[in-house]
């Protein structure tokens, strides 16, 4: 009997709702085209969940996710909390708890460059052409989960950057294994000239590297890596880094791909895989129908490939995105002065075109 694949749809907040609808639409199309049975169940997280239950990650949502084969997630966030530093409950807490509860410690962020968007990038096409980078961002450690607080009557604040040997080991193995299937190059990014947690990071990465003698390992400080990424993106293959540095560096790398709206990601670890665009909830454009759904659609492709082992189906999605771009269609964020107005699509029509 053919398997029924259970997919939790977790739209979250802001444009997360709009783009995830298009990602789901593409999964439905793939199911029909290839004769698969995908069963979808929606769950809440973030501000939407706080409004409904007071909790950014209700137990019911977590239970649904744990019972599914994969999760397609949108984004969390709301400006209300950005302007209130004293808020005790915040949408992002739902995201962090979800990553921790599901053991999603490895965030894969491929910087997929479509030839059609070379001109849309802030970097010169000749510098960009041929770039192909895969980031491994550690997701359940670092300053995100270390002790934090206030002292001196609230006048001093602290966050603790903390890593344990096993946390670095497990993500390093994932990065080295991926490098073996690519150009056999790993760049580990840290700040070991200043930070003790980075010195442990470097020490452990060097130890893990001994098990992969065919892979060339290079270390860079985060500041130098940020500069090199723009200067010479072709020099990068697999990048291995911590939670905070990975968050910042991959937002920067999105400019290589032309827009934040183009970058998909996969979070994997101990249990079910989670797939999401790297962008946030973008309340400035929420409800306007202009959000780029391609990162969600490409996240759906990662879901098919990594969680379901459906390589052909995943490639079909990527090819459909490629053809849509080749035909000249763009959302606002990836359009340029030469894009005819009729080719600038909204979120829904871009999803439909793909």
Tell me which residues touch ligand GGG (CB under 6 A).
75-77, 92, 95, 247, 276-280
Taking a C-beta distance cutoff of 8 angstroms, is the pair 297, 21 a contact?
Answer: no
CA separation for the pair 177, 192 (Å, rounded): 24
Binding-site residue set for Mg(2+): 223, 247, 251
CA separation for the pair 275, 11 (Å, rounded): 11
Q: Which of 321, 259, 296, 227 is nearest to 119 (CA)?
A: 259
Nearer to ligand GGG, 209 or 266 (CB): 266
Binding-site residue set for substrate: 99, 109, 137, 223
Q: Kindly provide the b/e burial profile for residues 45-54, where b requires at least 16 CB atoms within 10 angstroms of the residue's own CB.
A: bbbbbbeeee
CA separation for the pair 125, 119 (Å, rounded): 6
- Residue with nearest beta carbon to ligand GGG: 75
Nearer to ligand GGG, 217 or 250 (CB): 250
Nearer to ligand GGG, 95 or 229 (CB): 95
Question: CB 109 → ligand GGG: shortest distance, Å?
Answer: 11
Place of tokens 């199309």: 29
Residues with catalytic roles: 144, 191, 223, 247, 251
Question: CB 94 → ligand GGG: shortest distance, Å?
Answer: 9
Sign (positive/negative) of CA torsion 282, 243, 160, 147?
Answer: positive
Nearer to ligand GGG, 278 or 298 (CB): 278
Q: Which of helix, strand or coil describes residue 268?
A: strand
Question: CB 145 → ligand GGG: shortest distance, Å?
Answer: 11
CA separation for the pair 5, 2 (Å, rounded): 9
Rg over alpha carbons for the chain, rounded to the nearest Å, is 20
Question: CB 127 → ligand GGG: shortest distance, Å?
Answer: 27
């Amino acid at each position: 009997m053919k398997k029924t694949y259970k997919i939790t749809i977790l739209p979250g907040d802001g444009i997360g709702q709009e783009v995830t609808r298009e990602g789901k639409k593409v999964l439905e199309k793939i199911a029909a085209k290839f004769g698969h049975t995908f069963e979808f169940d929606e769950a809440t997280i973030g501000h939407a969940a706080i409004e409904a239950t007071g909790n950014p990650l209700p137990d019911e949502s977590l239970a649904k996710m744990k019972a599914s084969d994969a999760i397609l997630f949108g984004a969390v966030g709301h400006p209300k909390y950005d302007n209130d530093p004293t808020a005790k409950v915040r949408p992002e807490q739902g995201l962090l708890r979800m990553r921790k509860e599901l053991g999603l410690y490895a965030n894969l962020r491929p910087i997929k460059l479509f030839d059609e968007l070379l001109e849309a990038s802030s970097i010169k096409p000749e510098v960009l052409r041929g770039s192909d980078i895969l980031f491994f961002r550690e997701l359940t450690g670092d300053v995100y989960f270390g002790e934090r607080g206030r002292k001196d009557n609230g006048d001093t604040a602290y966050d603790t950057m903390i890593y344990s040997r096993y946390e670095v080991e497990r993500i390093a193995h994932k990065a080295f294994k991926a490098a073996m299937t690519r150009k056999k190059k790993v760049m580990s990014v840290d700040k070991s000239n200043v930070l003790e947690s980075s010195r442990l990071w470097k020490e452990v990465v060097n130890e893990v590297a001994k098990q992969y003698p065919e892979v060339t390992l290079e270390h860079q400080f985060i500041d130098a890596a940020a500069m090199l990424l723009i200067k010479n993106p072709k020099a990068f293959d697999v990048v291995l880094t911590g939670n905070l540095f990975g968050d910042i560096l991959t937002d920067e790398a999105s400019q290589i791909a032309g827009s934040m709206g183009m970058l998909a990601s996969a979070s994997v670890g101990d249990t079910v895989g989670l797939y999401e665009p790297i962008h946030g909830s973008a309340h400035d454009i929420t409800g306007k129908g202009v959000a780029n759904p391609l990162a969600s659609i490409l996240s759906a492709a990662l879901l098919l490939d990594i969680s379901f082992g459906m390589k052909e189906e995943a490639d079909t999605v990527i090819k459909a995105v490629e053809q849509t771009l080749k035909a000249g269609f763009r959302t606002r964020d990836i359009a340029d002065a030469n894009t005819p107005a009729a080719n600038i699509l909204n979120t829904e029509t871009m999803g439909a075109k793909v």
